[in-house]
């Protein structure tokens, strides 16, 4: 919704078609929407959601972690459990419920992982 431009619209489309009992990570959604690194942006879009036809609770964080839900993570977890997702404490088996990622058109963009990944080079300093 929001800007209804490409990315946001694509994200909504993707989320809308996540079947019950399955989940997708923010990163997966971003990837399917054509912006592999825009996981955070996806979260933001979800935040701005205002429609019931978008099952935002099926979008979770990586590693089988819950992720956020407007400050109500408990509800998110409950909704997922209600759909059959078995939680193990605060996490669940992502591999078992994650939907297949099918990237739709998008801008390939350099894979460079544009991350200089700041080699900390820490000389054992006390943190």
Partner DNA sequence: ATCATGACATGTT
Partner DNA sequence: TAACATGCCATGA
- Which residues sit at the interface with DNA, rule CB under 7 A? 1-3, 5-8, 25-27, 35, 37-49, 56, 59, 61-63, 65, 67-70, 109, 114-120, 122, 124, 126-127
**Distance in Å, CB of 76 to DNA, minimum:** 7
Q: What is the DSSP letter of 29?
A: H
CA distances in angstroms from 93 to 20, 55, 80, 113, 124, listed in the order given = 16, 19, 12, 27, 35
Residue 65: strand pairing partners: 91
**Distance in Å, CB of 6 to DNA, minimum:** 7
Nearer to DNA, 21 or 55 (CB): 55
Nearer to DNA, 19 or 23 (CB): 23
**Distance in Å, CB of 55 to DNA, minimum:** 9
Whole-number Å distance between alpha carbons of 87 and 75: 13
88: phi then psi, degrees, rounded to nearest 5 = -120, 90
**Distance in Å, CB of 84 to DNA, minimum:** 19
Which residues contact residue 82 at a Cβ distance below 8 angstroms, ignoring those fewer than 6 apart? none
Nearer to DNA, 41 or 103 (CB): 41
């Amino acid at each position: 919704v929001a800007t209804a431009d490409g990315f946001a619209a694509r994200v909504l489309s993707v989320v809308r078609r996540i079947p019950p009992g399955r989940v997708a990570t923010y990163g997966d959604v971003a990837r399917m929407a054509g912006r592999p690194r825009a996981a955070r942006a996806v979260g933001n879009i979800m935040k701005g959601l205002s429609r019931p036809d978008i099952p935002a609770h099926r979008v979770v964080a990586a590693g089988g972690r819950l992720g956020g839900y407007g400050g109500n993570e408990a509800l998110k977890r409950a909704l997922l459990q209600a759909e059959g997702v078995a939680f193990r404490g605060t996490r669940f088996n992502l591999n078992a419920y994650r939907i297949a990622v099918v990237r739709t058109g998008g801008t390939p963009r350099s894979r460079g992982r544009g991350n200089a990944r700041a080699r900390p080079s820490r000389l054992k300093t006390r943190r």
